[in-house]
Chains A and B, each alone.
Chain A
Amino acid sequence: MTIWTGQRITRFEDENLLRGNGNFTADLPSPLYLRFVRSPFAAGKIERCTAPAGVTMFTAADLDGVKPIQPMIRKFGYIPILQHVLARDVVRYTGEPVAAVIANSEEQAEDFADSVVLDISPAQVSVTAAEGLAAHAPVIHPGMDSNIVVQTAMTTPDHAAATAQAAHHVTTKIRSRRQSALPMETRAAHAAFDPATGRVTLTCTAQMPHLMRTAIAALLGMDEADLRVIAPDVGGGFGQKMSLAAEYVVLVWAARKLRATIAWVEDRRENLMASFHSRDIEIEVTGAFDATGKFLALTADITANVGAYAPYPNTAAVEPLMSFTELPGPYDIGAYACTARGVITNTCVSAPYRGVARPAITLAMERLMDRAAEQIGLDPAEIRRRNLVHKFPHTTPTGLVYDDASYIATMEAALRAADVPAFRARQRAARAAGRHLGLGISTFCERTGYGSAAFAARGMDVQPGWENVDMRMDSHGFVTARIGASPHGQGLRTTLAQIIADTLGIAPSQIQIVHGDTDDTPYGWGTFASRSLVISGGASLIAARKIRGKIIDEAADILEAAAVDIELGDGLARIAGTDRHIPIADIAAARNGFADDGFYDPLGTFSNATHIAVVEVDTGTCKVRVEQFIVAEDAGRLINPMIVDGQIHGGVAQGIANALLEEIVYDESGNILTISLADFLAPTAHEIPPIRILHRETISDATITGAKGIGEGGTIGAPAAVLNAINDALKPFNVEINEMPATPARIFAALQAAR
């Protein structure tokens, strides 16, 4: 009997995409195009915005009835700042949309936008978190006392005592520089108003079509039923497309206003400038250790520069609070004290990007462990061995519960694969020849597949989490599963089909997964936070089991056997141990098909991994070459190992980019300097080495498919492994590189300062 789970079957998604037959939002023709006029200044008062005669232009004054974007969490003193979808009276970051012009083509729209006269009186700006926090910094949002949008602190009762007892105190400070997700497909939306029904069909590149529908309808004061949202093929989201784009709201408003079809296609400069940024974070950590290197207490201070507004639905609190909650990582840290704050500045809004705050917190903890190892005189692997959680379930000081996993065993597997003693010998020989090789370790756990309880605990007004799957087998035995998740590269059409196929005893090619169209799918929360396989997979399994029960009952009737003796496989219902069978398609025909649904809302599950990077630092050029990269990971049951490998490859590439290359840069006036791919440096194939991946499968009962999420692990762990490797390579020079990206200029400056 064919078992589909665990097989590396090729993805159903790929043939169309590879042949150029994908359907992307910008492929849709449109009679009209919209372009935004964006603020050239980071802060200031809008004095005048006028268009020449004959140019249709809308400003905030026209959108008077449109509500502002105002996501909310009701904890941690979060202040619900609001954003008008077109700037009203003032601008708060360079690139903020101020006006929208309508034209017959993209070219004409750009000409019209250029013809608009926009006068802004520039005001004092805060670009860095430090500037936003400074005593006399202008308060960027009215009604606030400062630019701190959220702040929280905690201290566990044992913290003071634990810290006092410690034999060793090790402090390290890391700086994560601003990132952009850089999806290959920029944001795009196409709003078609149907005069016959008054409905708008919004086709847009998005990760949460149902929530976009709810949110946009609410902001525009229209019935949700009058808005249909379709996420077609999406050319990369990485979190950037889970947040509601003000631009999409304006587009739908304009389509209704003009009773027309209008499209907006963002260009690369706009995407770098005005689509969501992330990870502009600094973290200081102090580890208190006993004489054997065992963690007694962790103390931390976290500041996140969250930009000018709040992303919907996650709010401006998402990065500082995630840092605060998840900082301890895979370690049993003992006592915990942490303060965290989010600071508003005149920069683009910060929102989740694959990994969110975790690449930064992992960098902090992994640099701390390496520094502690050095100070205490332990091997970097040994200090981790002594501190990685190994008894499950484990509850962290912030209340997270780690389910069954393999933090230590996975690390050992990575270390064996890296053959550390052989590397050390090679490193010594290379040093003698004036070459600097380094090896860096990073261990972490990844919070995945968490349902509504987690979002409720955050105090979010919008509480995503559960998923529904509506499943139907037609009278020919062909199955359609309609899901509320919204895959955009995750391969869910394949992996869900594998899960369903095994449960129903049919082939994956007999199963179609329908997603992305709010008219055709049950309400669901989309795809983000490494959740879809866990939660939609779980719901699919539940629905399929119900249908399986119906098929078996019917087969038992037809075959005159007991239900418990019926097995399903290879398209047949068979009496176990005999030849007697009936095709499942025939059973379906007899009953005119079957239908049922599944609902799943899990608490969440933690996957884990260890990354090991081997680098060479060329002190002549100060460039870092990643020579080898090893990932040992445990994501529970792998439904399709090839797809898992793909997720890891992509995530690691983004993580290496974060470590060495990619950075959004503003000057001191808040002008963004990185507005093209010549300035914002994405890695090419030359910069990413082959990635060796080892798998473990710890089956936890926190996820009914046995599968954990894996989408973000690559980005979470890779930067720390690379930075630790750089520091290992540069040991003879007495420098510390704690900032990412670790550009050649930064490495040079550190080497120069140490001389």
Chain B
Amino acid sequence: MKPCDFIYHRPDTIAAAVALLAEFAPAGGRILAGGQSLVPMMAYRMAQPSHLIDITRIAALSGVQVTGQTLRIGAATPHRHFAKPVCGGALGEMLPHIAAHIAHAPIRNRGTFGGSLANADPASEWCTLLATLDGSVEAAIRTGTRHIPAADFFTGVMATALPEDALLTAAFLPILQDYRWGFYEISRRAGDYAMAMCLAAYRLQDGVMTDAHLGIGGAEATPRRLPHAESALNGQPPGETAFNRATDAASASLDPMTDHTMTADFRRHLVRTAITRALAGSRA
């Protein structure tokens, strides 16, 4: 399991990286960030990039900033950066909780937030987070920058709206001040890819839920918000009645991924469990 030959580049700036990408992406060149998905695929020769453009030396790509009610996350920020809260609000609480579900500590040391988004594995926790909270990403191309909202970003299994010559530079997420939230992930073993996961967040106003976000990942080709489930929550007091209705609504609209280990019925069952437990967790 040795990779095919490749030419390695390590630019110091975003502009240099983008220029390399413009030149080499059409011939199979790819960005290397943490490498935690790409390098194993290269070892299996399922990926055979002719050029690797290592962006981990570009300081401007790493780090987080809060501006108003938005957190900006540099694409090359490693998962381990989120082990402790980096901002306030519900987002500040949920980032460490969700990060702990990503693989294992050595992988979190190198894998990056932006790498996860660009890779767009259906079972990616950060992808589910971005989709559920309606975040957005920023990408740099030779001619400037582009903003892509989450709803437009994930186009299929391991597929995004990023053009092949675009470098993902940052992600944006809402702080969610005063929101309640819950997250539940189901995987075969500790650290495995999710078989189903749910992130739920809402505000409580006069005893009822409003501005609900409910999204699932790991179950369909792309993570997404479930508007029918959210409608079942909005305007209702938090509790089993509303939560069950939301779960039923979600289950009805599901387009589950299946494979030799997973039938549609079982995936549905797991999604129901993930939603139920995420919502139950939101009351704590």
17 A-B pairs besides A623-B188, A676-B44, A687-B189 with CB distance below 8 A are A110-B2, A114-B45, A621-B186, A621-B270, A623-B186, A661-B188, A678-B193, A681-B192, A683-B189, A684-B191, A743-B261, A744-B188, A745-B261, A745-B262, A745-B266, A749-B266, A752-B265
Residue B51 is within 8 A (CB to CB) of chain A in the complex: no
Task: Please determine whether B44 and A681 come into contact, CB atoms closer than 8 angstroms.
Answer: no
- Please provide the 8 A-B residue pairs with the shortest distance between their CB atoms, ordered closest to farther: A686-B190, A620-B273, A267-B1, A107-B2, A748-B266, A621-B186, A110-B2, A745-B266
CA distance A621 to B272 in the complex (A): 10
Q: How far is the CB of A685 from chain B (nearest CB, A)?
A: 8
Closest to B190 in A: A686
A684 to B270 alpha-carbon distance, docked (Å): 22
Which of A268, A678, A744 meets B266, CB within 8 Å? A744
Cα–Cα, bound, A748→B268 (Å) = 11
Docked complex: B23-55 residues within 8 A CB-CB of A: 44-45
Q: Return chain B residues, CB-CB under 8 Å to A267.
A: 1
Distance between Cα atoms of A749 and B277 in the complex (Å): 21
Cα separation A48 to B260 with both chains bound (whole Å): 33
Nearest A residue to B196 by beta-carbon distance? A621
C-alpha spacing A405/B169, complex, angstroms: 69
B190 neighbours in A (Cβ, 8 Å): 684, 686-687
Closest to B277 in A: A620
Nearest residue (CB) in A for B270 is A621
Contact (Cβ within 8 A) B2 A106? yes
Say yes or no for B276: interface residue by CB 8 A criterion. yes
Chain B residues whose CB sits within 8 angstroms of the CB of A107 once the complex forms: 2-3
Chain A residues with CB under 8 A of B1: 110, 267-269
Residues in A whose Cβ lies below 8 Å from that of B269: 622, 748
Q: Let me know if A621 and B273 touch, CB within 8 A.
A: yes
Enumerate 8 A-B pairs (CB-CB under 8 Å) in ascending A order. Answer: A267-B1, A269-B44, A661-B189, A678-B193, A681-B188, A684-B191, A743-B261, A745-B262
Name A743's closest neighbour in chain B (CB-CB).
B261
Interface bin, chain A? 20 to 34
Residue A701 lies at the interface, judged by CB distance under 8 Å to chain B: no
Q: Mark B166-198, 1 if CB is under 8 A from A, else 0.
A: 000000000000000000001011111101000
Whether B253 is near chain A, meaning CB under 8 Å from some CB there, is: no
User: B189 contacts which chain A residues (CB < 8 A)?
Assistant: 661, 681, 683-684, 686-687
Chain A residues 649-684 with CB under 8 Å of chain B are 661, 665, 667, 673, 676, 678, 681, 683-684
* Residue count of chain B within 8 Å CB distance of chain A: 26
Main secondary structure of the interface of B (DSSP, over half): loop
Instruction: Return the contact of B276 from the options A620, A681, A748 (Cβ within 8 A).
Output: A620
Query: 0/1 per residue, A714-755, Cβ < 8 Å to B?
Result: 000000000000000000000000000001110011001000
Q: Is A111 interfacial (CB-CB < 8 Å)?
A: yes
| Residues of chain A lying within 8 A (CB to CB) of residue B45 | 110, 114
Using CB atoms and an 8 Å cutoff, list the residues of chain A in contact with chain B: 106-107, 110-111, 114, 267-269, 620-623, 661, 665, 667, 673, 676, 678, 681, 683-684, 686-687, 743-745, 748-749, 752
CA distance A673 to B259 in the complex (A): 11
Complex Cα gap A673–B260 (Å): 9
Contact in complex: A749, B263 (CB < 8 Å): yes
Nearest CB to that of A677 among chain B residues?
Answer: B40
Decide: A745 and B273 in contact? CB cutoff 8 A. no
- Which B residues lie at the A interface, using CB under 8 A? 1-5, 44-45, 186, 188-193, 195, 260-263, 265-266, 269-270, 273, 276-277
Measured CA separation A684–B195 after assembly (Å): 18
The residue on B at minimum CB distance from A663 is B261
A678 to B1, CA, bound (A): 15
Q: How far is the CB of B270 from chain A (nearest CB, A)?
A: 7
Q: How far is the CA of A120 from the CA of B152 in the complex (A)?
A: 44
Q: Closest CB-CB distance, A545 to chain B, in whole Å?
A: 50
Question: Chain A residues with Cβ under 8 A from B191's Cβ?
Answer: 684, 686
Contacts A661-B189, A748-B266 given; does A111 touch B260 at CB 8 Å = no
| Cα-based distance from A745 to B264 in the complex (angstroms) | 11
Q: How far is the CB of A606 from chain B (nearest CB, A)?
A: 35
Please indicate the chain B residues that have their CB under 8 angstroms from the CB of A743 in the complex.
Answer: 261
By a CB distance below 8 angstroms, the chain B residues around A683 are 189
| Whole-angstrom CA separation of A620 from B191 in the bound complex | 19
Q: How far is the CA of A107 from the CA of B44 in the complex (A)?
A: 12
Hey, which chain A residues are within 8 Å of B188, CB to CB?
623, 661, 681, 744
Instruction: Among A111, A681, A745, point to the contact of B4 (Cβ < 8 A).
Output: A111
Determine the residue in chain B with the shortest Cβ distance to A665. Answer: B260
CA distance A687 to B191 in the complex (A): 11
- Measured between beta carbons, the chain A residues less than 8 angstroms from B193 are 678
- Inter-chain CA distance A215–B2, complex, in Å, is 32
Q: Tell me which residues across on chain B come within 8 A of A620, comparing CB atoms.
A: 273, 276-277
Closest to A667 in B: B260
When chains A and B are docked, how far (Å) is the Cα of A743 from the Cα of B277? 21
Chain B residue with the shortest CB-CB distance to A107? B2
A33 → chain B, closest Cβ, in Å?
10
Q: In the assembly, what is the distance between CA of A529 and CA of B1, in Å?
A: 32
- Return B210 CB to nearest CB of chain A, in Å: 28
Cα(A620)–Cα(B190), bound, Å: 17
A93–B191 CA distance with the chains assembled, in angstroms? 33
Q: A622 to chain B: which residues have CB within 8 Å?
A: 266, 269
Closest residue of chain A to B193, judged by CB?
A: A678
Contacts of B261 in A (CB 8 A): 743, 745
- How far, in whole Å, are A673 and B45 apart by their CA atoms in the complex? 16
Nearest Cβ on chain B to A547's Cβ, whole angstroms: 50
A745 to B262, CA, bound (A): 7
A111 vs B193: C-alpha distance when bound (angstroms): 31
Q: Which residue of B lies closest to A679 (CB)?
A: B261
Q: Nearest B residue to A105 by beta-carbon distance?
A: B2
Q: How far is the CB of A143 from chain B (nearest CB, A)?
A: 35
Bound Cα distance from A183 to B81, whole angstroms: 35
Expressed in whole angstroms, the Cα–Cα distance for A111 and B269 within the complex equals 45
Closest Cβ neighbor of B265 among chain A residues: A752
The complex places the Cα of A620 from the Cα of B263 at a distance, in Å, of 15
State the CA gap A114–B46 with chains docked (Å): 13
Q: Which of A110, A684, A687, A745 has the most CB of B within 10 A?
A: A745
CB-CB nearest in chain A for B266: A748
| Min C-beta distance of B43 to chain A, whole Å | 8
Q: How many Å lie between the Cα of A623 and that of B5 in the bound state?
A: 42
Task: Choose among B188, B192, B263, B277 the residue with the greatest number of A CB atoms under 10 Å from its CB.
Answer: B188
Q: In whole angstroms, how far apart are the Cα atoms of A752 and B186 in the complex?
A: 19
With a cutoff of 8 Å between Cβ atoms, the chain B residues found around residue A111 in the complex are 4-5
Contact residues in B for A752 (Cβ distance below 8 Å): 265
Inside 8 A of B276's CB, which chain A residues have their CB? 620
- What is the distance, in angstroms, from B273's C-beta to the closest C-beta of chain A? 4
**A267 to B3, alpha carbons, bound, how many Å?**
12
Residues of B within 8 A of A676 (CB): 44
